[in-house]
Structure 1
Amino acid sequence: MTPAARVQSAIEILDLILAAAKGGGASGDKIVGDWFRSHRFAGSKDRRAVRELVYTAIRACGPIPPSGRAAMLRLVAADPALAALFDGSVHGPQPINPGEPIGEGGTAPQWLEQRLLHSGIEAADWPALLGRAPLDVRINPLRGAADLPEPGEPLHTPLGLRYPPGTPIERWEAYAGGQIEVQDAGSQLACLAVAAQPGETVIDLCAGAGGKTLALAAAMDNRGRLIACDIDRGRLARLSPRAMRAGVAVIEQRLLNPGHEAEMLADLAGQADAVLVDAPCSGTGTWRRNPEARWRLSPAELVRLAAVQARLLDLAAGLVRPGGRLIFVTCSLLDEEGADQGEAFLQRHPSWPTQTLQLPAGTAHGGGIRLSPARDETDGFFIACFGSP
């Protein structure tokens, strides 16, 4: 591909991503992958270059741009050398016309920037929210010592290592053998907050594909009872092969029907030593990995997510035994999904005390701990722990 053709390809992919963001379609990563599979003439260097253009353009635009071309023109404003590639060649973009729409800069749509400020995320910290995330792994003690081709940088977490973005972890024998799992340092810290112990009964109420479930199983040394729940059959189905690779044998899976979770968990009422509620959220703490996610969020969707989180917290409270603990986690930097949510839970359950968390990173915030890309070099999280009376 010529440099101009790479720019035009990036524009086409950006148009697909923008349409998906507006219509609730596939993620940016899936769209990029599907485009490359259907355009096999693009070599490895072309794919890297096009991907870099796509995600640099996404990160450069705050509000959702009117088109992929407008997003790319935002890059031209910062790098005039790109303008020469708008040359009208056979596979390149058409020349730039004066007055064409250009994507607006910034960090996010204005309403969302205001929510960040209201939540105590200062503007000086915003660039870090869109930086490229490193690759963090967790050593799996259930598989013994990990034989790694590269040592990695130690993290705050006892079993964490950090590698540069793009490190081919999935090609390593240690990954194939389950000795390591890819997991952001923030997620590892959230699992530390659960303080799962061997022999306990632990419920991962929103397990998804099971990244945190596997970490909890390792902390429990494969002893006890670990119930992984979710309403998404596809995501939960990915847990079994991951557990097999990791040598985890303690997990019970439960696929829940939305609206009927309490009935399907009735046998566990008041039985759990710990319940982890890693609730569905806006994902504002994961923009480093999913920068287009900030274009998918709306005030109405934020209200809906907060209502889901409150319902899940109340559901979880009924599962915790007296003296047990409820750990609430969202990968969000917004107080509506963090500090405010925790305060509302305590108002509904005034006999539940907040338990102080001792984590090796993060800042005390609203009765819990906040992790942020700018200050902790992790994804953004809110983590709180409540004790059952």
Structure 2
Amino acid sequence: MTPTARLAAAIDLLFAMEDAPRRPADAVANNFFRERRYIGGGDRRAVSAQVWAVLRQWRRLAWWIGRAGGEVTPRLLVAAQSVLEGRPAESLQRAFSGGRYAPDPLDPAETRVLRALEGHTLHHPAMPEAVRLEVPDWLLPSLRAQFGDGAAAEIEALGAPATLDLRVNLLKATRDQAREILAADGIAAEPTPLSPWGLRVPSRQPVTASRAFRDGLVEIQDEGSQLVVEALGAAPEMRVADYCAGAGGKTLGVAMCMENRGHIVACDVSAARLEGAVKRLRRAGIHNVERHLLEAGDKWAKRRAGSFDRVLVDAPCTGTGTWRRNPDARLRLRPEDLAELVAKQASILRAAAKLVKPGGRLVYATCSVLREENEAQLEGFLAETPGFERRPMPLSGFSQPPEVLRLSPRSHGTDGFFAALLERTA
């Protein structure tokens, strides 16, 4: 693709995202490229990089466009980003030529906006703090309360590009062996500092095309997510329930810890997500996992109450800790979403806790940095549920077992995560 064709594709993809405001950007992008198989891998990465850069800067770009009297559109967002990065507006008029595969020409109103932005950068002292930090206005007080004096730096880190982390599948290879096999495919990786199974790739590389991935030696998984698995403390011959398993990312790690011995039940309310786990389990060589669809009126949980050694509750949440990967989520999040999720989390935690046998343990985890979904949720559960006590988390990467796990990109280089370990004492 020519540079102008990539520009046009980026604009088209942003329009597609605008037409599906409640759908995650990565899902829209996957469908967009699936319908345009003529776009090669390198071009897909270039187009995606441009679109994700706009998503990371959306509020600031929109602020500049509004300040210049323009209408916020995908065309102007892409063009404004280029001008604020130092590209002359005149050169953009040539790029928006209307020629073959190029975007339609800029109209007079668009041209006026871009000329007004020349000589400026993305930052401006008059910009409101929530705009500068790319967060919803209503959410900024909660983030300030959570992070205190370091709130601005922590929020900025949540908006930076994410690392590419891998979890080595110890059922098939050691960490050093996986590194060597990745290196043979031209992919350099370094051990992660906190997870004993993690590898970090310094840049976005086609890991899924590598032999290590195809043969099930590695799985893409943020280091923070790996630590949640380690905290569960699953071991061979145990009975384990992954209560919100989704497509099985953490289930895979739990099975590895159990050395494929014992029994895991991967539960979810979505049949499609559970079905998505099948290929991953097969690739990893895992055969001790049973999938169970949770449905209204289901008696499964009641029949198996008090029968599991370990229960993992990776609760549905706002995903504020994953903004590095999903910057569009900041634009979609509403106060009513948080309220709905907090109620759902409390219900899930109560239901899952009934599965734990005396002496067994439960890990409650989210990929959120908000107190409402984390500490407050845990405090509410412990206040109304006798027989559970908090325990320190046995994590090999920490000099002292943390009472609860709070991770953030700025402090730990991971996604934002929260996890707590509870033991059933009666």
TM-score by length of 1: 0.90
Q: Is the 8 A contact 2:308 2:360 kept in 1?
A: yes
Q: Which moves more between the two structures, 106-115 or 275-284?
A: 106-115
Following superposition, the deviation at residue 82 of structure 1 comes to: 6.0
- Tell me what 2:125 maps to: none
In structure 2, distance between residues paired with 1:43 and 1:245: 26
Q: Pick the aligned partner of 1:131 from 160, 180, 186.
A: 160
Instruction: Confirm or deny that 1:152 pairs with 2:189.
Output: yes
Instruction: Confirm or deny that 1:311 pairs with 2:347.
Output: yes
Q: Is the 8 A contact 2:182 2:211 kept in 1?
A: no
Q: Pick the aligned partner of 2:53 from 52, 56, 66.
A: 56
- Tell me what 1:245 maps to: 283
Instruction: Confirm or deny that 1:111 pairs with 2:134.
Output: no
Identical aligned residues as a percent: 39
Q: Is the 8 A contact 1:224 1:250 kept in 2?
A: yes
- Structure with greater Cα Rg: 2
Following superposition, the deviation at residue 355 of structure 1 comes to: 0.9
CA distance change for structure 1 residues 9 and 172 in 2, over 3 Å: closer, same or farther?
closer
Kindly report the root-mean-square deviation, in angstroms, between the aligned alpha carbons of the 2 structures.
2.6
Instruction: Confirm or deny that 1:356 pairs with 2:389.
Output: no
In structure 2, distance between residues paired with 1:282 and 1:152: 30
In structure 2, distance between residues paired with 1:346 and 1:218: 30
How many positions carry a matched residue from both structures? Answer: 383
In structure 2, distance between residues paired with 1:75 and 1:63: 10
SS of the aligned residue for 1:142 comes to: coil
Partner deviation per Cα, 1:198-238 (whole Å, 9 max, x = no partner): 11111000001101001001101111111110111111012
Following superposition, the deviation at residue 130 of structure 1 comes to: 1.6
Q: What amino acid sits opposite 2:15 in the alignment?
A: D
SS of the aligned residue for 1:347 comes to: helix
CA distance change for structure 1 residues 134 and 275 in 2, over 3 Å: closer, same or farther?
same
CA distance change for structure 1 residues 250 and 46 in 2, over 3 Å: closer, same or farther?
closer
TM-score by length of 2: 0.83
Q: What amino acid sits opposite 2:112 in the alignment?
A: P
- Tell me what 1:89 maps to: 97
- Tell me what 2:172 maps to: 143
CA distance change for structure 1 residues 119 and 89 in 2, over 3 Å: closer, same or farther?
same
Written as runs of structure 1 = structure 2, the 5 A alignment for 1:1-389 is 1-21=1-21, 24-25=22-23, 27-39=24-36, 42-62=39-59, 65=62, 66-76=72-82, 78-81=84-87, 83=89, 84-87=91-94, 88-90=96-98, 91-92=102-103, 93-95=105-107, 96-99=110-113, 105-120=132-147, 122-145=151-174, 146-147=177-178, 148-150=181-183, 152-155=189-192, 156-257=194-295, 259-260=296-297, 263-360=299-396, 368-389=404-425
Unpaired segments of 5 or more residues in structure 2? 63-71, 123-130
Q: Which moves more between the two structures, 134-143 or 187-196?
A: 134-143
SS of the aligned residue for 1:369 comes to: strand
Q: Is the 8 A contact 2:238 2:262 kept in 1?
A: yes
Q: What amino acid sits opposite 1:203 in the alignment?
A: A
Unpaired segments of 5 or more residues in structure 1? none
Partner deviation per Cα, 1:80-131 (whole Å, 9 max, x = no partner): 3063314441123515343589996532121122221122261112221122
